[in-house]
A and B are shown apart, each in its own frame.
Chain A
Amino acid sequence: MNQDPIIQIRDLYKSFGPIDVLKGIDLDVPGSQCAVVLGGSGSGKSVLIKTIVGLLKADRGTIKVLGERIDLLEGDELDKLRLSIGFLFQSGALFDSMTVSENLMFFLERHLKLPLAEATDRILETLEWVGLPEKLHDYPASLSGGQKKRIALARSVIMAPKILLYDEPTTGLDPVSVRLIADLIVRLQVERGLSSIAITHDLLCAEIIADTVHFLHEGRFIISGSLEEISRFDHPAIVTFFGNETTLTS
């Protein structure tokens, strides 16, 4: 297994006006590993993941993705690197005006320019992988929350990225759907060797997918380790967090 960091963050700061959201984040994600960032609402999790992919600009610090300083890239260079990164949005972010098939085809058409038959095969294969081949011609509005997330996951992986970033992949889903999504995330790691960062406050999901867990509180990681180690760490924010959340074992 390649242990060189695929994503390396050093001393990352981000503020919005007078509010300091990230205050010196350091994070290494080795190859084929999943780093889970846990934390309560408003702790800066979504800001962190959006900064990693360049949707937000960091105020200070460095972010290396696949050896390149993504925080310094712009325009076509940034776009080129982004093709190696898949992103699963909290809301799924499927295009409402397109069917499931069109949502997946949209990216393939524009980036890979595959022959239609090959592109269609890839779409079907990906939909089968997420267990929803029958939804090919459905619009996102007719899908359940869990189905939307699975289709969004299919769209995130269809370009065969090397890294996947998950922003609250299981928020608002029932435990069965949480397991389905979490199992898909694990399979991506095992079968395709993807490295990933998942932002979540869902302990059930974290328990299934995490190789390492980092607890974010008030813009800083207060502890990193296994979920079990973190759950035993004596800090008021962690005690409160674990008191409110449910795990597989609880």
Chain B
Amino acid sequence: MDEVGSKSFILTGITGLAIGVVLAMQSRGTLIRFGAEAVLPSMLALSVVKEIGPVFTSLVLAGRLGAGIGAEIGSMRVTEQIDALEVAALKPFHFLVITRVLACMIMFPILTLWTDAIALFGGYVESYLASGMDYRIFVSTAFESLRFSDILVDTFKTSFFGFIVGIVSCFLGFTVRGGTREVGTAAMRAVVGSSLFILLSDVVIVRISMLLFGDVGS
């Protein structure tokens, strides 16, 4: 939990800040052209909470944790540490897989909420510096467009992304055969595999949530 969660706060925080600031900077010009600068907070909130925050956070975590878990378990496999657990009548699957998968499933939504909050803060700072927007207006405009179901579904879908990262990385680490080269390959595959599964499953989850909860504004 510590490895997955607290050690990822800075990384996801910086990711969130960059997302918020860049999104606000890039959208402002277009919105001004259409006389819609006032909807910037709302647009930021919807983009960040519904899609960019969860997916970016999960991809960043897939990079950090997928490689870490794949390499760690892979090294344990090639140095016979997993065999040592098995011979000692301790179930490696319980100790190594379930713990990591659960940690990912719990921490991904928490880190996503943190990234979203920092991204919105970054967007506000950019708006304040560019147009002197009052924080009360920013907050009320940002949140009036969001429904509770948006926050709930789009944040907690990252729990499933966490499951994907945990399972894919543990599986690839567990099935390593050979030496350090194969451990490196497993770590790389864990990142690539987790990222691809996250992106593909996001399409399915978004479609399902639209069927269940309707589209934005509906």
Q: Is chain B found bound to chain A in the same assembly?
A: yes
Measuring CB to CB, which residues of chain A are less than 8 angstroms from any residue of chain B? 50, 53, 55, 78-80, 82-83, 85, 87, 89-91, 93-96, 106-107, 110-111, 159
Cβ–Cβ contact A93 & B89, under 8 A:
no
Instruction: Tell which of B76, B79, B84 touches A87, judged by Cβ atoms closer than 8 Å.
Output: B84
Cβ–Cβ contact A91 & B88, under 8 A:
no
Cβ–Cβ contact B89 & A80, under 8 A:
yes
Cβ–Cβ contact A111 & B83, under 8 A:
no
The 3 closest A-B pairs by CB, nearest first: A79-B89, A93-B84, A93-B80
Q: Is B81 interfacial (CB-CB < 8 Å)?
A: yes
Cβ–Cβ contact A55 & B90, under 8 A:
no
1/0 per residue B105-129: CB within 8 Å of A? Answer: 0000000000000000000000000
Q: Is B204 interfacial (CB-CB < 8 Å)?
A: no
Cβ–Cβ contact A55 & B79, under 8 A:
no
Cβ–Cβ contact A107 & B88, under 8 A:
yes
Interface residues on B, range: 10 to 19
Given contacts A93-B84, A96-B81, 9 further A-B contacts (CB under 8 A): A50-B83, A55-B83, A55-B86, A80-B89, A83-B89, A87-B88, A89-B83, A91-B79, A95-B84
* B87 (CB) vs chain A CBs: closest residue: A87
Please report the C-alpha to C-alpha distance between residue A23 and residue B89 in the assembled complex, in whole angstroms. 28
Please report the C-alpha to C-alpha distance between residue A8 and residue B89 in the assembled complex, in whole angstroms. 21
Cβ–Cβ contact A85 & B87, under 8 A:
yes
1/0 per residue B46-90: CB within 8 Å of A? Answer: 000000000000000000000000000001100111011011111
Most buried by A among B79, B86, B88, B91: B88
Supposing A91-B79, A93-B79 touch, asked if A110 and B84 sit within 8 A by C-beta, the answer is: no
Question: Which chain B positions have C-beta within 8 A of A110?
Answer: 90
Question: Which chain A positions have C-beta within 8 A of B91?
Answer: 79
Instruction: Tell which of B80, B86, B87, B89 touches A91, judged by Cβ atoms closer than 8 Å.
Output: B80
Q: Distance (Å) between the CB of B56 and the closest chain A CB?
A: 30
Instruction: Tell which of A50, A82, A90, A94 touches B88, judged by Cβ atoms closer than 8 Å.
Output: A82
Please report the C-alpha to C-alpha distance between residue A57 and residue B84 in the assembled complex, in whole angstroms. 16
* B83 (CB) vs chain A CBs: closest residue: A55
Cβ–Cβ contact A82 & B79, under 8 A:
no
Question: Which chain B positions have C-beta within 8 A of A90?
Answer: 80
Please report the C-alpha to C-alpha distance between residue A245 and residue B86 in the assembled complex, in whole angstroms. 33
Q: Distance (Å) between the CB of B52 and the closest chain A CB?
A: 35
What are 12 A-to-B residue pairs whose CB atoms are below 8 Å? A55-B87, A78-B89, A82-B87, A82-B89, A85-B87, A87-B84, A93-B81, A95-B81, A96-B79, A107-B88, A111-B88, A111-B89
Please report the C-alpha to C-alpha distance between residue A89 and residue B75 in the assembled complex, in whole angstroms. 15
* A167 (CB) vs chain B CBs: closest residue: B80
* B84 (CB) vs chain A CBs: closest residue: A93
Question: Which chain A positions have C-beta within 8 A of B87?
Answer: 53, 55, 82, 85, 87
Question: Which chain B positions have C-beta within 8 A of A82?
Answer: 87-89
* B75 (CB) vs chain A CBs: closest residue: A96
Question: Which chain B positions have C-beta within 8 A of A85?
Answer: 87
Please report the C-alpha to C-alpha distance between residue A82 and residue B86 in the assembled complex, in whole angstroms. 9
Please report the C-alpha to C-alpha distance between residue A106 and residue B81 in the assembled complex, in whole angstroms. 13
Question: Which chain A positions have C-beta within 8 A of B88?
Answer: 82, 87, 107, 111, 159
1/0 per residue B86-107: CB within 8 Å of A? Answer: 1111110000000000000000
Q: Distance (Å) between the CB of A94 and the closest chain B CB?
A: 8
